[in-house]
Amino acid sequence: MSGWLDGNFVSVVDGVAFGLLLFTIAVGLSLVFGMMDVLNLAHGTLYLAGAYVAYALSDGSMSGLLLALLAGVLVGTMGGAALTFLTQPLARRGHLDQAVLTLGITFIVADLLAASFGGDVLPTDPPTALRGTVGLLGHSYPVYRLVFIAVAAGLALLVYLVFERSSLGALVRATVADRDMVRALGVDVRKVLYGVFASGAALATVGGVLGAPILGPGPGVDETVLVLSLVVVVVGGLGSVRGALAGALLIGQVQTLGVALLPEYAPFLLFGTMLIVLVVRPHGLVASAVRA
Amino acid sequence: MAGALALAPFVLGPYAVGTLSRILVFALLVLSVNLLTGLTGLPTLGQSAYFGVGAYTAAIVATRITDLGPLQLLIAAAVSALVAAGTGWLAVRARGVVFLMLTLAIGEIVYSAAVNWKSLTNGSDGMSGIPPVVPLPGMPALELDGLVYFYVLAVFLLLYASVSRLGSTSFALALRGIRDNEPRMRAIGYPTQRYALTIYCGAGALAGAAGALWVSVQRFVSPGDAGFEIAALALLAVVIGGSGSMRGACAGAALVWLTRDYLGNLEAVAGRGPLLLGLLFVIAVYTLPRGLAGVRIPHRLTRKRTA
């Protein structure tokens, strides 16, 4: 290879890794809003909780990572269930109250996490077996990021298959479209809603566990992650898995290539991208299958 | 109320007066959020952006051009309105949650600009050494906190009265129409998009003026002043106050600020301000569905609600 791509090859691959990380986080935000109409501004906090779980349980072994993943799923599922429970009474009062409630939760959890783990960003190393670099088309590249890309791509495929290609996904979409009809068919609608929120939240905490070596835990990370996920969701289109993937990959490239090529303007590139996408496609790259 | 506020420095100690100054400045920012969220129904999490732009503009004007307060205010308001026009035309294309997300992103971008544009903003160290404000030409610079308070109070009352007057215009009625039923407003011929952008710029100017005033009080500005926490607190104050009520917004601003600055500094909970604020958010949402303005006070202690 030669020329532009060769010079920026590492940034482009980093962009794919970052994009897939953003997808893992943002898809839950998008589905919970698009399908359940719940605005969860505590979504970045779920990532942060997952990243702290990874920090607390990582001991350099693969079993430490697996344990952290299990703990992350548990924390996320419980967090999602708690958030469903807390936001349900506000369902009729609109998004502003949901925003204030979930912001309050971010303040509380961020304070508790800072009190337990201190105010610094904690570097979290991947397991020893996944450290080091490999040659990739003549460039050396961290092993962990390649493994991450593979795992996250697998997750993305799984989420797509479950939500857009399986009968379970059809049940979820049907519940969103006509709750009473699904209830009449004998399905416990509340279980479906809890399930969507819990799996969306678990994806965010798993993103935190896997993403800790890329975007480590520390105060303020919750906010960064929240803003990036919101941008991904707005750019991609609310409530669609494919939209979240398209938005995440685009924003991942903008963030990594932007920092590499135009470091001074990186924050404006993010806004510029959002601007261009929304001017051309006001509902995002992929309009939702469920809600317009 | 204005009389009681004017007497405050004669009764309260310097720390309390300083806190009161900050509350008044924050209340102006909350009024700006209220113009969008309460009056027009556009939930914003990005008003800290224009507050920050105003604060940095005033700090630059104060250190390089003039220490005359009103001039700093005007330039800050104008620059903030311009930035609001440049960013707002994207935000007002959306409504509801997407609007909220876009304003949040705008806020985050201004915050990172404040951190990264070091030649202008001095990065995360912030700008200090800002000269004390001169309220009117020929008057001495205000060195003492008590005197700055009177300057802040004068500006606050002036801007409060202006916003209050705006509330009784046909323009404000049209904005309420947009909040309550935008399709109908469009159908009867209102250019709702243009109205939304106009109030977005107006609210930006008000937030910018508040930012300039903030610099007069603090004589320091840092990226944190343009950050997410300020935006979240301002939105919370509007919701606690009761969306749409100016007095409610000011009461909400006072409650939020006292929780953060006063309760957060008590010995038993020192350093746990965010925890207390979070609890305030959660409790307020469940117990005050219509905000402080919606709490019924017995007898006729309050007159008719103003906009």
Q: Which residue has the higher pLDDT, A292 or B176?
A: B176
Q: Which residues in chain B touch residue A230, judged by CB atoms under 8 angstroms apart?
A: 101, 104-105
| Inter-residue contact A199 to A28 (CB < 8 Å) | yes
As given in the structure block, the two tokens for residue B125 are 């160290």
Sign of the CA dihedral running B104, A222, B236, B254: negative
Query: Which residues are within 8 A (CB) of B100 and not within 5 positions of it... i.e. 6 or more apart?
Result: A39, A95, A99, B43, B44, B45
Whole-number pLDDT of residue A292: 39
Average pLDDT, chain A: 87
d(CA B167, CA B265): 37
Indicate the pLDDT class of residue A205, thresholds 50, 70 and 90: very high
Residue whose structure tokens are 């936001």: A87
Single-letter amino acid code for the residue at A70? L
Lowest mean pLDDT among A98-112, A177-191, B156-170, B228-242: A177-191
- A105 to chain B: nearest residue by CA? B278
pLDDT digits (tens, 9 = 90+) for B9-47: 777 888 888 889 999 999 999 999 999 998 999 999 999
Residue whose structure tokens are 């993943």: A69
As given in the structure block, the two tokens for residue A65 are 């990572």
Q: Which residues in chain A touch residue B232, judged by CB atoms under 8 angstroms apart?
A: 103, 107
CA atoms within 13 A on the CB side of A84: 22
DSSP assignment of A114-176:
HHHH-SS----PPPGGG-SEEEETTEEEEHHHHHHHHHHHHHHHHHHIIIIISHHHHHHHHHH
> Do residue A108 and residue B37 have CB atoms under 8 angstroms apart?
no
Evaluate if residue B262 carries a pLDDT over 80: no
Which residues on neighbouring strands pair with residue B273, listed in sequence order?
none
| Inter-residue contact A30 to A246 (CB < 8 Å) | no
Mean pLDDT, to the nearest integer, of A164-186? 85
As given in the structure block, the two tokens for residue B272 are 């746990």
> Do residue A97 and residue B102 have CB atoms under 8 angstroms apart?
no
| Inter-residue contact B172 to B39 (CB < 8 Å) | yes
| CB-nearest partner of A230 from B104, B113, B278 | B104
> Do residue B278 and residue A108 have CB atoms under 8 angstroms apart?
yes
| CB-nearest partner of B274 from A107, A238, A268 | A107
DSSP code of B38? I
Distance (Å) from the alpha carbon of B85 to chain A's nearest alpha carbon:
14
Q: Which residues in chain B touch residue A82, judged by CB atoms under 8 angstroms apart?
A: none
d(CA B213, CA B6): 17
Q: Is A188 left (phi over 0), alpha (psi -120 to 50) or beta?
A: beta
Evaluate if residue A104 carries a pLDDT over 90: yes
The ipTM assigned to this model is 0.84
Query: Which residues are within 8 A (CB) of A124 and not within 5 positions of it... i.e. 6 or more apart?
Result: A51, A54, A55, A58, A212, A213, A216, A217
Single-letter amino acid code for the residue at B26? F
- A277 to chain B: nearest residue by CA? B90
Classify residue A262 by burial, with Cβ atoms within 10 Å: 0-12, 13-18, 19+: exposed
Q: Which residues in chain A touch residue B272, judged by CB atoms under 8 angstroms apart?
A: 111, 115
As given in the structure block, the two tokens for residue B201 are 């710029």
A58: three-class secondary structure by DSSP? coil
Whole-number pLDDT of residue A245: 94
d(CA B212, CA B72): 7
Give pairs for A109-112: CB < 8 Å, separation 24+. Answer: A109/A42, A109/A45, A109/A48, A109/A49, A109/A222, A109/B278, A110/A45, A110/A48, A110/A219, A110/A222, A110/B274, A111/B272, A111/B274, A111/B275, A111/B278, A112/B275
Lowest mean pLDDT among B61-75, B134-148, B181-195, B220-234: B134-148
d(CA B196, CA B77): 18
As given in the structure block, the two tokens for residue A9 are 């090859």
Residues B91-103: b if buried by 16+ CB within 10 A, e if exposed:
bbbbbebbbbbbb
CA-closest candidate to residue A206, choices A276, A138, A259, A158: A158
B221: three-class secondary structure by DSSP? strand
pLDDT digits (tens, 9 = 90+) for A53-89: 999 988 888 888 999 999 999 999 999 999 999 988 8
Percent of chain A with pLDDT over 90: 41
d(CA B21, CA B149): 5
Residue whose structure tokens are 């710029």: B201
Indicate the pLDDT class of residue B268, thresholds 50, 70 and 90: low
State the pTM of this model.
0.87
B112: three-class secondary structure by DSSP? helix
Whole-number pLDDT of residue B294: 62
> Do residue A33 and residue B275 have CB atoms under 8 angstroms apart?
no
> Do residue B87 and residue A111 have CB atoms under 8 angstroms apart?
no
d(CA B48, CA B222): 12
Evaluate if residue B298 carries a pLDDT over 50: no
Whole-number pLDDT of residue A285: 86
> Do residue B116 and residue A238 have CB atoms under 8 angstroms apart?
no
Enclosing H/E stretch for B217? helix B192-218
Q: Which residues in chain B touch residue A271, judged by CB atoms under 8 angstroms apart?
A: 87, 105-106, 109
Indicate the pLDDT class of residue B293, thresholds 50, 70 and 90: low
- From chain B residues 233-252, the ones with a CB under 8 A of any chain A CB are 235-236, 239, 243
| Polymer length in residues for chain B | 307
